[in-house]
Structure 1
Amino acid sequence: MARNSSSFKLDNATLSLFQDVNTGIIISVIYMLVTAINLVGNGLSMWLLLFRTSPKTPSIIFMINLTLTDLALGTALPFQIAYQLQGYHWTLGTRTCSFVTLMFYTNMYCSILTMMAIGIDRYLGIVKPMQFRQTRKRKFNAVIGCLVMWGLVLSVLYPLMTTDLTFDIPELGITTCFDVLKKDMLPSMLAWAAFLLSMVFILFLLPFCVTTFCYVSVIRKLARDSKTAQKERAIRLAFIVLLVFTVCFAPNNILLLSHTVLRLFYKKSAYMAYKLSLCFSCLNSCIDPFIYYFASKDFRQKLRQILNLQSLSSMDLVATDHKESLYSAQCTFEGQEREHSKVSLMPTQTTE
């Protein structure tokens, strides 16, 4: 068990990874594109949600929380870009490394939990409308729900706040940030198991199962009804959300679990595949604003008004003060809803 970087030598496969310049450049370019689209798209989305959308329904509150996590990722990615372009060399100190890493993880798992909350909100509104209409203090519950999500994520990720996540590699003359983890980051193998399983099962797998159940139930419910254009759009959107959730978040978390098990017990590694999966997880933050546009008539109308592109179609000329949600033909109660799926950056090598 390594206590410091000078007492442990990395294997050749790991050293080769840090010397792979082409992969680092490719990942950096992808992150640059993600950052640009993220900040522009989510910045505009946040402005519309905060200042141009009223009233603030539970769905809007969840969407604001989700957009906030996307923007957090967008502001953190430039640090990762600089780190990659410098050949995996971190120069901003241990506290900044811990802060940026925590921001990445918090973004990913808060996005996943928020998507679950949106899925539950839609499930209740579409599949259980009578019970849902009787619910009181929905806005208050949504705000409390967002606070609980952040509290849960931060409690699971607490070790990242109290640990030096940098690691010196003298033979390469670099200092990594959260790419090589010391075993003594946690006091025992049991603590490592609890940390890993909490991230993968509590913060990913359980929300994924709940989200899948909710959207599959919504699709089945809408499929039994008449085929209006609005309902068909809702069904297509539900499929897209599940697809994005699966493509963006599932590979990253599965590879995180696989890599850690391989590293700890079999002296092998799946780190390169894991590193590449981070790119897919970040793409989620770019897709969200486009999902808003195609999912919500109100959001679409507000954006077109800003860009002076107001449609002359009869569908887009419906008065905006009704604040129709995506499922307004199915639900008679308030329901402006925005679709999301998001993520962030993760760790990786565990020293022997």
Structure 2
Amino acid sequence: MGDFANESIVSNSSGARCHRDTTVTHLVFPVLYTLVFLLGLVLNSLACWAFFHIPSTSTFIIYLKNILVSDFIMTLMLPLKILTDSGLGPWQLKAFVCRFSAVVFYDTMYISIVLLGLIASDRFLKIVRPFGKFWVQNLTSAKILAGLVWLFFLAISLPNMILSNKKATPQSVKKCASLKSQLGLKWHEAVSYICQFIFWTVLILMFVFYTVIAKKVYESYIKTQKKDNKSEKRIKGKVFIIFTVFFLCFAPFHFSRVPYNLSQTSTRMDGRLQNRLFVAKESTLWLAATNVCTDPLIYLFLCKPFVEKVLYRRVKTFRKTVHTSPKTELDTRLSPTES
């Protein structure tokens, strides 16, 4: 599903070999991924606690909970990537990463991509047709759609794990492709194209959705300008946080993969340009991984029950610390049962 691991010496399709500077991948990126892991673990653990106490009363919350599970799994895959990229782990761990955890890493990334697309469509329908109800807007449909997303990516990723069945050795694990059978290589290529298609489809649909939403928000802004309702303007403007997070995290990686994939098959591309494209691809992959830290922004800005639950906990903790008396009006309003 993702790109194969690269050796320090690579060859293009003409057989020309060029040395790859591994300083960035062995030193810089492990540090950057460690920061993402620590921050992602804290934020997603807090989000898990909050959402555990929030009932699934809307399609939006159902999709957010599924994104949270996906992000949490992706976060747990990062230490394995850090150890293997830095060269600190044994070669057997690299074999495990090639066969399983790298597949899960990319799997969860694309699950998040599709779920963010579903959230965008949900916001689109609620803004364009605030009083209408489509079948996709009921809770059962949302749960079925989220379940189908998980099943689809599980179905296409399992062969990637099963068909990485060649014997692992200290030499062969340097390149994950060496562990794949011929059918495994073809399946991997097919899944890469499928995932590219999924991303570009979601991106185009989100662009269309938010173009229409922007038009509606602008029309509403003109209507409310005389009333000077700043609160309402802020609320409507916040819906764009989803597209912003999606585009900043995932678009650079998919833009860079196009020339990078071409560099792997080009007969005339020199090693220096190949190395630059490799660093660009790795840099944007790290940016895609930061999605596990930016998704909580969606919870914070758009999910009122989440904000109320987290804020209520902080108020409660503060009151215990200063030994204040009975519930105040603020406590009552912030109570999760009032969400």
TM-score, normalised by the number of residues in structure 1: 0.74
C-alpha distance in 1, partners of 2:136/2:298? 29
2:181 counterpart of 1:161: no
Equivalent position of 1:204 in the other structure = 199
The structure carrying a bigger helix percent of its residues is 2
The unaligned stretches of length 5 or more in structure 2 are 1-8, 319-327
Displacement, 1:192?
6.4
Q: CA separation of 1:254/1:140 partners in 2, compared to 1, >3 Å: closer, same or farther?
A: same
Displacement, 1:126?
1.2
Aligned length: 305
**C-alpha distance after superposition, 1:21-72 (max 9, x if no partner):** 3442111111111111111111111221122x23532111100100011101
Equivalent position of 1:241 in the other structure = 242
Equivalent position of 2:305 in the other structure = 298
Equivalent position of 1:279 in the other structure = 286
Give the residue type in structure 2 aligned to 1:287: T
C-alpha distance in 1, partners of 2:82/2:185? 32
C-alpha distance in 2, partners of 1:55/1:164? 38
Equivalent position of 2:322 in the other structure = none
Give the residue type in structure 2 aligned to 1:32: T
2:215 counterpart of 1:215: no
C-alpha distance in 2, partners of 1:136/1:11? 49
2:34 counterpart of 1:32: yes
Equivalent position of 1:340 in the other structure = none
Q: CA separation of 1:157/1:320 partners in 2, compared to 1, >3 Å: closer, same or farther?
A: closer
C-alpha distance in 2, partners of 1:244/1:301? 22
Equivalent position of 1:142 in the other structure = 142
Q: CA separation of 1:105/1:260 partners in 2, compared to 1, >3 Å: closer, same or farther?
A: same
Indicate the percent of aligned positions where both proteins have the same amino acid: 22
Equivalent position of 1:151 in the other structure = 151
1:125-136 matches, within 5 Å, as 125-132=126-133, 135=135
C-alpha distance in 1, partners of 2:144/2:47? 22
1:165-184 matches, within 5 Å, as 170=171, 175-176=173-174, 178=176, 181-182=177-178
Whichever of the two has the greater Rg, that structure is: 2
C-alpha distance in 2, partners of 1:14/1:38? 38
C-alpha RMSD over aligned residues: 3.5
The unaligned stretches of length 5 or more in structure 1 are 1-8, 324-352
Give the residue type in structure 1 aligned to 2:38: A
C-alpha distance in 2, partners of 1:280/1:136? 31
C-alpha distance in 1, partners of 2:251/2:165? 24
Contact between 1:89 and 1:176, CA under 8 Å: does it hold in 2? no
Q: CA separation of 1:118/1:213 partners in 2, compared to 1, >3 Å: closer, same or farther?
A: same
Displacement, 1:121?
1.0
Q: Tell me which moved more, 299-308 or 85-94.
A: 85-94
Q: CA separation of 1:32/1:188 partners in 2, compared to 1, >3 Å: closer, same or farther?
A: closer
